Amino acid sequence: MKRGPKILLVLGLLAVVGMAFRVSWNALRDVAHAIGADPTAATVYPLVVDGLMALALVAALVLPEGDRRFALRILAGYTAASLVLNYVHGLVPTLHGPGRERLADWSPANWALVLLATSLPVGSIFYGSDLVAKVLHHRPASDETAQTMTNRSGSELPAPADPAPGESVYAPPLPAPAVEPTEAAPTVGPVREVAAAVADSRPAVTARAARPRKLTGRVPASARTTRPVRTPEELLTEAREATAGWADGELTADRIRVAVHTSAEKARTLRDTLKAERAAAPAGLHLVADPVPEADAAAGE
């Protein structure tokens, strides 16, 4: 709607309200004269009733839901009271003249109407002050939202949005130290094959470790290894076969771990078990290392 028609609509509304107030003002002034008010009090009496109606209407447009209902109840109550007094003014012609008059011939009705007319100024003081206080202490919706967010504890605040996924800033883990074979005694049999396999796979492991690793979730069951878990008896049997040709000094946890591909803790347990078995067996019954290849060549010559 354009600005010009809005202004005309507001001006027309103010004119209608002003004329209606003038009509009601005449009736309320005569009622005030009838209940004993002096000329000055009777002149301002209509402002007490109809003026609070206008104030309640403005407060209902400004206040929030709970206080708005309170303002609308005040508006409805004072509108009904003004309507009753205007109705009585039309029924009793003697109220049009000056002086004190009865508002009704029946005494209980007269008492009720006098009580209504005299209580309206007191109600205007109480309800009008309450409405003004509510309007002055009311805060706009934006201020209430900001204050509420300030007073809320950290657990009630909304969770921050997840940051955009990016590359990991952590350095890749260092490669595990390679186990060098002992040069004091040559390795033969299965141990030599295991050492050669470890030496061949070392560059590939180092190259994979140098790449930055991305964060991943839990590995699904379908992608996990299908290698069966060995029992302690099977693991001990493999360790016996792998170390059959080793000397007693070569029974170390690191060499056993590499030979049977197990953890360091289990390798230490296997080492202790194998040493205990060799100590309990009669001397000379356990296997020893093969002679040096150079010695065999010399003997053949």
Separation between Cα atoms, residue 134 and residue 67, nearest integer Å:
8
Round to whole Å and give the CA distance between 17 and 250.
112
What whole-number percentage of the chain has pLDDT above 70? Answer: 62
Q: Is 69 helix (H, G, I), strand (E, B) or coil?
A: helix
93 Cα distance to chain centroid: 70
Query: Which range scores top for mean pLDDT: 13-22, 160-169, 279-288?
Result: 13-22
What is the structure's pLDDT at 214?
61
CB-CB contact of 68 with 76 (8 Å): no
Nearest of 300, 245, 301, 251 to residue 279 by alpha carbon: 251
pLDDT score of 135 = 85
Nearest of 120, 106, 108 to residue 45 by alpha carbon: 120
Give yes or no for a contact between 191 and 179, defined as CB atoms under 8 angstroms apart. Answer: no
Domain parsing of the chain, residue ranges: 3-140, 186-195+231-293
Model pLDDT for residues 170-222, shown as the tens digit of each residue? 555 566 665 555 554 444 455 565 555 555 555 554 555 556 566 556 666 66
φ and ψ at 282, to 5 degrees? Answer: -60, 150
Mean pLDDT of 10-36: 85
Residues contacting 53, CB < 8 A, separation 6+:
75, 78, 79, 82
DSSP code for 198: H
Mean pLDDT for 227-248 is 84
- Average pLDDT in the 43-57 region? 89
Taking only the tens place, the pLDDT of each residue in 90-109 is: 888 777 666 677 888 788 98
- DSSP letters for 271-301: HHHHHHHHHHSPTT-S--PPPPHHHHHHHH-
DSSP 121: H
